[in-house]
């Protein structure tokens, strides 16, 4: 079966990449920190492995797996801790570098978040070099994790603890030495396999993700680069564990435990891929064309929050539609809370979250930048109302939009999203 017939080597993929060489000079003018040559090479390799393998068994296992098979390959192409690269994953489809990159979103991806990965081994010393643009992301974090699929955190550097030089540059060291009060150092352990970097963009039009590069400073001679065959094995495992077990399995279960059209009390946790400094509330909706879910969120001390709608398989749909709103994209009530209206039809409210045509779907609200120890005063309340009764439950100060104001809001969103895709 084709499933087992994979035989190409990394060499042929590298040849493919080499054939893209002439692009390089034309592309070096890009100012998008995501459009790097490593990104292009890994995108090309992921596409090649994905196209050469049809994943029939796992694709059949769940629609989610089918929809996210490419994401599982993207998660696997940058897994070599001796030859680390920085790779942007869990992102929507894009055309760049003359590549048609399929979408790779899974497991409650956040459309605000630029997720980048660096493979890590505790045998190797790393230097991560970064540069913070002005303005940079609203919330940044660096999580050393023991499993790229369930993401259990073994060490963590909060964006608020990162020391950035006056010229915007920063250096983070990662090795097995204790932190000992040093800033910008992350201690790796034998269970650490990946550094997951989150850059959450609040204002998509103005905020730029950090430039990030990595260097293994230890001697890595004697370690062969991982092969495409190994990448494929990892990808299949990712598909099973990340999508079926963790994504639709654990997270989906967590979501479906709650009554329909409710949102759970926010909880802070370092497991299931969430951050220790993050609170999350889960829910699933089932709305007719004439209903709305109205939710009022208390931000507490969060430096950032997001209210996204995802499909029944926990994946964001059309990022260019207003399917999510974050702390910078929404307007507050007079007392500092935020009220959102989730509906299929546009209710003419500024804080509308478009279900993108879905009558059923999922929601994972997140608050970030909280203190990791104390319980914070974050909260959320939700109710369902008929759209015709909406005004009676909304705060009197609710901001409504004209069709023209909505068009401007959406145009800004589309233009902001497009900035990530420039190459
Ligand atoms: C940040 O990255 C962009 C895109 O690669 C590049 O144009 C810019 O010079 C970099 N800035 C710094 C300070 O490294
Ligand atoms: C490990 O990181 C610490 C902190 O930055 C540094 O002092 C030390 O030299 C590093 N060890 C190696 C072997 O690079
Ligand atoms: C969604 O609601 C409709 C009625 O409006 C019902 O028929 C359907 O079974 C519900 N779906 C789920 C998954 O509960
Ligand atoms: C809501 O989302 C759908 C699906 O992406 C899109 O077709 C529609 O235009 C959006 N509605 C508005 C008013 O933006
Ligand atoms: C804040 O205002 C919202 C909207 O009017 C209301 O639902 C909520 O109860 C208020 N919260 C407090 C703590 O007064």
- Domain ranges (residues) in the chain: 6-244, 258-421
Which protein residues touch ligand 2 with a CB less than 6 Å away? 125, 173, 175, 177, 182, 185, 217
pTM of the model: 0.85
Q: How far is the CA of 339 from the centre of ligand 5 (A)?
A: 9
Q: How far is the CA of 93 from the centre of ligand 5 (A)?
A: 39
Q: What is the pLDDT of residues 322-367, one digit of tens each?
A: 999 999 999 999 999 999 999 999 999 999 999 999 999 999 999 9
Lowest mean pLDDT among 176-180, 195-199, 225-229, 347-351: 225-229
Average pLDDT over residues 382-396: 98
Nearest CA to ligand 1 atom 3: 31
Helix extents (H) in 216-274: 228-238, 252-256
Fold category of 258-421 in CATH: Jelly Rolls (2.60.120)
For 352, the enclosing helix (H) or strand (E) is strand 352-354
Q: How far apart are CA 212 and CA 214, in angstroms?
A: 7
Residue 80: predicted pLDDT: 93
Q: Which residue has the higher pLDDT, 149 or 312?
A: 312
Average pLDDT over residues 164-191: 96
Q: How far is the CA of 406 from the centre of ligand 5 (A)?
A: 25
pLDDT at 5 over 60: no
Say if residues 319 and 113 touch (Cβ distance below 8 Å).
no
Half-sphere exposure at residue 124, Cβ-oriented, CA atoms within 13 angstroms: 23
pLDDT band at 74 (very low <50, low <70, confident <90, very high): confident
Residue 104: predicted pLDDT: 83
pLDDT at 49 over 60: yes
Average pLDDT over residues 411-423: 94
Q: How many Cβ atoms sit within 10 Å of the Cβ of residue 144?
A: 23
Residue 66: predicted pLDDT: 53
Residue 305: predicted pLDDT: 97
pLDDT at 54 over 70: no
Q: How far is the CA of 286 from the centre of ligand 3 (A)?
A: 6
Residue 7: predicted pLDDT: 28
What share of the chain has pLDDT > 90, as a percent? 60
Average pLDDT over residues 235-263: 72
pLDDT at 126 over 60: yes
């Amino acid at each position: 079966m084709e499933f087992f017939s994979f035989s190409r080597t990394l060499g042929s993929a590298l040849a493919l990449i080499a054939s893209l060489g002439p692009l390089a000079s034309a592309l070096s003018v890009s100012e998008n920190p995501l459009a790097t040559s490593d990104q292009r090479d890994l995108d090309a390799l992921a596409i090649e492995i994905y196209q050469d393998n049809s994943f029939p068994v796992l694709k059949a296992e769940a629609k989610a797996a089918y929809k996210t098979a490419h994401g599982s390959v993207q998660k696997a192409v940058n897994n070599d801790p001796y030859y680390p690269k920085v790779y942007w994953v869990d992102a929507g489809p894009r055309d760049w570098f003359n590549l048609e990159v399929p979408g790779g979103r899974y497991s409650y991806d956040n459309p605000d978040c630029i997720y980048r990965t660096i493979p890590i081994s505790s045998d190797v010393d790393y230097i991560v070099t970064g540069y913070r643009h002005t303005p940079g992301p609203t919330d940044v974090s660096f999580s050393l994790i023991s499993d790229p699929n369930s993401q259990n955190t073994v060490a963590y550097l909060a964006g608020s603890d990162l020391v950035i030089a006056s010229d915007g540059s920063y250096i983070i060291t990662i090795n097995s030495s204790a932190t000992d009060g040093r800033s910008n150092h992350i201690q790796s352990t034998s269970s650490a396999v990946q550094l997951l970097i989150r850059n959450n963009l609040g204002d998509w039009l103005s905020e730029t993700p950090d430039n990030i590069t990595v260097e293994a400073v230890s001697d890595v001679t004697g370690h062969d680069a991982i092969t495409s065959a190994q990448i494929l094995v990892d990808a299949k495992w990712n598909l099973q564990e990340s999508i079926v077990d963790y994504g639709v399995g654990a997270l989906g279960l967590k979501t479906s435990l709650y009554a329909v059209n409710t949102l759970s009390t926010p909880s802070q946790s370092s497991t299931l891929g969430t951050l220790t400094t993050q609170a999350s509330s889960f829910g699933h909706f089932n709305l007719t064309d004439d209903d709305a879910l109205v939710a009022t969120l208390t931000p507490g001390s969060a430096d950032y929050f997001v209210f996204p709608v995802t499909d029944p398989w926990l994946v964001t749909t059309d990022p260019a539609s207003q399917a999510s709103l974050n702390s910078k994209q929404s307007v507050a009530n007079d007392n500092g809370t935020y009220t959102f209206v989730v509906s299929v039809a546009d209710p003419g409210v500024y804080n509308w979250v478009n279900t993108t045509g879905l009558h059923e779907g999922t929601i994972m609200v997140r608050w970030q930048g909280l203190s990791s120890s104390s319980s914070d005063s974050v909260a959320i309340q939700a109710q369902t109302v008929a759209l015709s009764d909406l005004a009676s439950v909304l705060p009197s100060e609710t901001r409504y939009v004209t069709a023209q104001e909505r068009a401007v809001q959406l145009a800004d969103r589309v233009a902001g999203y497009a900035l990530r895709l420039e190459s």
